[in-house]
Amino acid sequence: MLTCRAVWKKLAPLARASSTVCRQNVRRAGWNNARTPLCVPVAHMSTGPVGGGSDNLKYALLVGASFVGGLTYAVITLKGDQKRHVERMAEISSRKQKSASQIQTEPAAPLETKLEAAAAPDAEAAAPSETAEPPPVDEPLAEASAEEAAAPLTDAGVEEAADSKPSLPSHAPYLLIGGGTASFAAARSIRARDPDAKVLIVTDEPDLPYMRPPLSKELWFSDDPSVTETLRFKQWNGKERSIYFQPPSFYVDAEELSGAENGGVAVLTGRKVVHMDVRGNKVKLDDDMEISYDKCLIATGGVPRNLQVIERAGEEVMKRTTVFRKIDDFKSLDKVSRNAQSITIIGGGFLGSELACALGRRSTESGLEVIQMFPEKGNMGKVLPEYLSNWTTEKVKKEGVKVIREAVVKSVSYKDDKLEIKLKDGRVVRTDHIVAAVGLEPNVDLAKSAGLEVDSDFGGYRVNAELQARSNIWVAGDAACFYDIRLGRRRVEHHDHAVVSGRLAGENMTGANKPYWHQSMFWSDLGPDVGYEAIGIVDSSLPTVGVFAKATAKDTPKAATEESGTGIRSESETEDTASSAVAPAAPAPVVSHRDEYGKGVIFYLREKVVVGIILWNVFNRMPIARKIIKDGEEHVDLNEVAKLFNIHED
């Protein structure tokens, strides 16, 4: 024990000196008693006393006494230390048995490093009474107790598997904030690349990670009356799947994460990260629990926006308004749709149009009135060029939706058991329930405490091309405003982007250093007859070139999924090599359409370079579209580029 050694070192010279002196005195005394005075010269030490015998004796006694006294003091102190140490250990082990959340209040990291430094030279037994060589023996007591506090914490970390009651982890090598698509994709990526990685996902939702697209599409088309409970949906090809990425057995319990031999992914549900300490590499949850990390991903997604006029309209209106994003929103809207007589969807984008079509379908059975209103001239007005937006609006109407275009809501009030929506141009709409699908507010709550930059143009955390915000912190998914090498800085709110960026963040968290390069895609279905896939910047304010062919009955989303044998469309490219496509049916007769835009390709241009492509009712050609965007070339004749897609084939 170092204390002993330190003490001994201090006492040793004194001891040595006094022992020599003693020996010398003894010798002299001996000789004085000896018969034969052998006049052997005695080597005098500098410390040796010269002088008379009685003086010598007095001195000898003095030195001896002080030596013994010193020894006694040392022994007493050490015994006291040991006693204190034993008491302390007992106290701490009794503390260990208390509830998990109370254990960790001090930061483990600085104490751990301190301990490591001290532990390096000495004992394997993590001796708690190690100190860093302090000169006085009594000083290290205070330090020792601090070190002792740290020791059981590391002990707890090391011996958690052996512990009778494992606790929630106070440290996660990989901490993912948010439990959505991006987070799950990152977790999978990390586990694939870092063997035995321990990944902790913290989410404020009560659910395990799930995918969002079916909430506004497939789940509504299910025949199963218990779909709100099972959350399973049957795809066109008959295969059934849950919206959850993985069943609960895939995940490791959070308490067992630290001790898991091969690592794993653990999900802590119902906890919100409220504070982030970047310098200390740790976060604080809403229950005051602290978790430190080595690498952290922020994938907090966003919160649906609502109209200000609704928020100011009072409780009766708010009670009858749904903002749609989570599983609970789906459940409650499903319930409403079975009881209400009229539902109005405010918003003409992806979510609004998909929900309108889904509810419109239901309306044919139940007599439910479905209204959709938006400020633009047509559905997807901000995405599709005007002619296509108009065509799509007609399709949405065919799904049973009453579409009110160029509608700006002025006020909403609750009157006579109905919601009354007054538009700026004077029109009034009376309805039972409102669904607000007016955009997403990216969640940047942690920006302030973490000192992270927020983008003023697109919202979200500002990150570089490798999705990194600062050292050891990455952001992916809806909340990430990232630099796209090809297309410039942007923020994307699509499912496939969450997967792509989550995967990339996971790769970079495990040392890959790759920029965002594989362009994500998105898709939308408006009923079973209209569907499109898109990639890149698809903004209706850009000049477009559309190349169309006449559609046959085969060119529908339904046919596409049947052929590729999959459900979610972005999957079909992954399964490409694995499964063989189902042989297409005999060629269907050409169906004559009143409309002209059966199927085709639409190019979005920015200074003659294609930055976005929509594949309109043309499927399984995304790799070609991706290639064209990646090249970033100026093509003189886009009709020639369109030939690459073989739009007349299946």
Partner 1 sequence: MSSVRQEGKDKIIFVTKEDHETPSSAELVEEDPNDPYEEQGLILPSGEINWNCPCLGGMASGPCGTEFKDAFSCFHYSKEEVKGSDCLEQFRTMQECLQRYPELYPKEDDAPSSQASEESASAESASAEASDPAAGSEKDSDPTLPNTESSAES
Q: Rank residues 132 and 644 by Cβ distance to partner 1 and give the closer one.
A: 644
Q: Rounded distance, CA 571 to CA 564, Å?
A: 9
CB of 100 to partner 1, least distance (A): 23
Q: Rank residues 221 and 548 by Cβ distance to partner 1 and give the closer one.
A: 548
Considering only residues 493 to 552 of the shown chain, the ones binding partner 1 according to CB under 8 A are 495-496, 499-500, 503, 506-507, 514-515, 517-518, 520-521, 542-549
DSSP 252: B
CB of 580 to partner 1, least distance (A): 9
- Given candidates 59, 73, 250, 391, which one binds partner 1 under the rule CB under 8 A? 250
460 lies in the binding site for partner 1 (CB under 8 A)? no
Kindly tell me the sign of the dihedral angle through the C-alpha atoms of 249, 250, 254, 255: positive
Residue among 138, 282, 288, 136 at smallest CA distance from 200: 282
CB of 75 to partner 1, least distance (A): 53
For residue 143, give both structure tokens.
């330090």
CB of 179 to partner 1, least distance (A): 15
CB of 595 to partner 1, least distance (A): 12
Q: Rounded distance, CA 148 to CA 143, Å?
A: 8
CA 145 to centroid of chain Cα atoms: 37
Q: Rank residues 79 and 239 by Cβ distance to partner 1 and give the closer one.
A: 239
646 lies in the binding site for partner 1 (CB under 8 A)? yes
CB of 632 to partner 1, least distance (A): 9
387 lies in the binding site for partner 1 (CB under 8 A)? yes
CB of 522 to partner 1, least distance (A): 11
Question: Site map for partner 1, 215-244, x if CB under 8 A?
Answer: ------------------------xxxx-x
DSSP 438: -
Question: Site map for partner 1, 166-205, x if CB under 8 A?
Answer: ---------------x---x-xxxxxxx-xx---------
- The number of helices, as runs of H, and strands, as runs of E, in the chain is 17, 28
Considering only residues 466 to 495 of the shown chain, the ones binding partner 1 according to CB under 8 A are 495
Q: Rounded distance, CA 643 to CA 650, Å?
A: 14
Kindly indicate which of the ranges 92-100, 287-295, 355-363, 628-636 contains the residues binding partner 1, using the contact rule CB under 8 A: 628-636
Site size toward partner 1 (CB under 8 A) is: 85
Q: Rank residues 95 and 648 by Cβ distance to partner 1 and give the closer one.
A: 648
CB of 597 to partner 1, least distance (A): 8
Q: Rank residues 265 and 313 by Cβ distance to partner 1 and give the closer one.
A: 265
Q: Which residues on adjacent β-strands are paired with residue 411?
A: 422
Considering only residues 89 to 148 of the shown chain, the ones binding partner 1 according to CB under 8 A are none
211 lies in the binding site for partner 1 (CB under 8 A)? yes
Alpha helices (H) along 270-378: 308-311, 315-319, 327-339, 350-366
Q: Rank residues 191 and 395 by Cβ distance to partner 1 and give the closer one.
A: 191
Residue among 206, 209, 154 at smallest CA distance from 176: 209
Q: Rounded distance, CA 147 to CA 308, Å?
A: 55
CB of 608 to partner 1, least distance (A): 13
Give yes or no for a contact between 20 and 47, defined as CB atoms under 8 angstroms apart. yes
Q: Rounded distance, CA 85 to CA 78, Å?
A: 10
CB of 577 to partner 1, least distance (A): 4
Q: Rounded distance, CA 479 to CA 440, Å?
A: 10
Write out the H or E segment, with its range, that includes residue 343: strand 342-346
Write out the H or E segment, with its range, that includes residue 25: helix 2-33
For residue 587, give both structure tokens.
């060629």
608 lies in the binding site for partner 1 (CB under 8 A)? no
Considering only residues 264 to 303 of the shown chain, the ones binding partner 1 according to CB under 8 A are 264-265
Helix/strand/coil for 415: strand
463 lies in the binding site for partner 1 (CB under 8 A)? no
CB of 304 to partner 1, least distance (A): 21
Q: Rounded distance, CA 209 to CA 485, Å?
A: 29
For residue 150, give both structure tokens.
């740290």
Q: How many CA atoms lie within 13 A of 521 on its CB side?
A: 25
591 lies in the binding site for partner 1 (CB under 8 A)? no
